[in-house]
Amino acid sequence: MARKNQTLGEFIIENQSAFPYSSGELSRLINSIRLAAKVVNHEVNKAGLVDITGAYGETNIQGEDQQKLDVYANNKFIQTLTNREIVCGIASEENDEFITIEGCNKDHKNKYVVLMDPLDGSSNIDVNVSVGTIFSVYRRITPIGTPVKKEDFLQPGNQQVAAGYIIYGTSTMLVYTTGHGVNGFTLNPALGSWYLSHPDMYFPEDGKIYSINEGNYVHFPQGVKDYIKYCQEEKDDRPYTSRYIGSMVSDIHRNMIKGGIFMYPSISQAPNGKLRLLYECNPIAFITEQAGGKASDGFKRIMDIQPTELHERTPFFCGSKNMVEKAEEFMRKGKN
């Protein structure tokens, strides 16, 4: 039973028996993520005081300019997970290919792989807007005792055993699920400990917020344009309020607490959308469904998509169940 203000460590120990195939390994993995998050949080809070903001000078596999904090966060999470010899493989949005972890465990006995977006919304760090980390955990499907292969990472989201995000904002929070609901922990920077502050997080079935980059309106599919018009109508409990931060973790976090929908549809220049299925959409979808919400590509469940590429992209609609279903309704009408 979750108790408000208990530490993350206490919570993990008390709930370890609920983890599938529990052996303590997944608990240690979550502990490693919370440690790396504290280190990254410390660096994020120094932005503007040290030379950590701005572009790194290289592009990632997505063709996007890497920010200095992208590289820093990526290195810290990989380093922490590797040094603890808990996972057998890591895939990151910032790396072209997955990383095989051997370390001292030459027999490849570890069972889990981690996929992550080490710093979501990093372009906002220069202007002091909240950013985040997203992570996803799977059990490997290739035989234990052999090096990991790409198929260990190309699993549909419905095979996740854990997923979460860290939001670095006015307070720093770690929100995660292992398939038994969603709980949020807030970092006490004075003590360096995480405390359960948001037990049993849940999306309201309806909401009054829609989050989308309306600057791309002319490039949206017709169904999205029609849904936006629906949101803006003065009718019943509408118009809804438009709120778009541009850091997905921040938008999702706000909408889970207040009720709303986040949308990043396909656009004419990016027919497959922009967001990455494995590093962003699947983990957020797992959290959303565990919190009573819904996540879709506009037509079908995100977590049922079979990935074919490490850096695959997809349109993304996520949030309060009734709002997502209404958006899907408009998408189907727009396709006819």
Residue 93 assigned to a binding site: yes
117 is in an annotated binding site: yes
Cβ-contact 144, 111 below 8 angstroms: yes
328 annotated as ligand-binding = no
Residue 244 is assigned to a ligand binding site = yes
Q: Check the annotation: does 119 bind a ligand.
A: yes
Cα distances (Å, whole numbers) of residue 202 to 112, 169, 205, 329? 27, 20, 9, 23
The two three-digit tokens of residue 45, written as one number: 């809070």
User: Does 120 count as an annotated binding residue?
Assistant: yes
CA distances from 120 to 91, 135, 224, 304 (A): 15, 11, 24, 23
- Residues in the chain, overall count: 336
Q: Which residues are annotated as a binding site for Mg(2+)?
A: 93, 117, 119-120, 280
Q: Which residues are annotated as a binding site for substrate?
A: 120-123, 213, 244, 274
Q: Which residues are annotated as a binding site?
A: 93, 117, 119-123, 213, 244, 274, 280
